[in-house]
Copies of this chain bind each other. A is one copy, B any other.
């Protein structure tokens, strides 16, 4: 949400000479990306996003998700594609930082997602999962079940400052999930962060998926569970079954969930809720006093987790079990 690094026009024009994307007309620092600096470029050939990766991004992971975006785009998934230099490189250096140019995707993200948007994201997610099946690289998910206890240990001493009893609540949930986390569900490339602000629409039509720095290899249905939490709750925390049904039905038209995946979905959704509860909690407790950036509310995901704890089966998401869609 901030421009960390300014770039001189001359330096940028020099940098662009390695590419075949036209001459620079303008560039604006845009208020997107929490940890990177992003510029929207206009050139004589169109619009592009220039990202400078600040220190918190492990540069070792850059090749994975840049290759992934190129792989997905080549298979018809609408997502940004890294631009290559004349020498075939997709990652250069500018202002002392790793720098990547991607094409600009038109579209706006839905601040108030409708069931139509949910159907759009369900279909796109399934197609992304299918397109990723032959992606040759792998990256473990550092924020899957094995990554939650270390986060809990960071947040535990002060968790009850956020809400009395929160520490014990999380400890019990963590024990529950670690003991039952499924080990034999289909895996593949997941987006792992497909929140509404990462999905663009023009009108009701999905125009693309963005922002792949959390992408990794993990249980495919876990990605579905993340989306259920991110897309199907109302601002008043009520679960919207119509939206869930739309999302799951559209997903299953492109990639039907197996019986095992369906059975596991409520547990995966608990895990997905705990993952965001934990990272938000750590971020929230880590904010220095007087900081201008307000972190996201961790208790939003406490409420979602409470809901998911009471889900008995996929029927509670508005969908008939065992493949048939309600």
Contact = CB atoms under 8 A, between A and B. Distances in A.
Contact of A106 (B42, B104, B202): B42
Interface stretch (A3-11, A163-171, A215-223): A3-11
A32 B202 CA distance: 25
A112 B12 CA distance: 13
Give this chain's copy count.
2
A25 interface: yes
A144 B290 CA distance: 35
A108 interface: yes
Contact of A31 (B8, B30, B111, B201): B30
Contacts of A291: 290, 292
Contacts of A112: 8, 10
Contact of A26 (B111, B200, B292): B200
A263 interface: no
Interface residues of A, number: 38
Nearest to A105: B26
A42 B31 contact: no
B31 A2 contact: yes
A110 B26 CA distance: 11
Given A2-B2, A40-B40, A47-B42, A27 B290 contact: no
Contacts of A293: 292
Interface string A37-49: 0001010000100
B111 A6 contact: yes
Contacts of A1: 2-3
A109 interface: yes
B26 A28 contact: no
Given A2-B2, A3-B1, A26 B290 contact: no
B290 A25 contact: no
A92 interface: no
Interface of A: 1-3, 6, 8-10, 12, 24-32, 40, 42, 47, 104-112, 200-202, 288-293
5 contacts: A3-B31, A25-B107, A26-B105, A28-B30, A28-B40
Given A25-B107, A25-B202, A30-B30, 6 more contacts: A1-B2, A3-B31, A8-B112, A26-B107, A28-B30, A288-B290
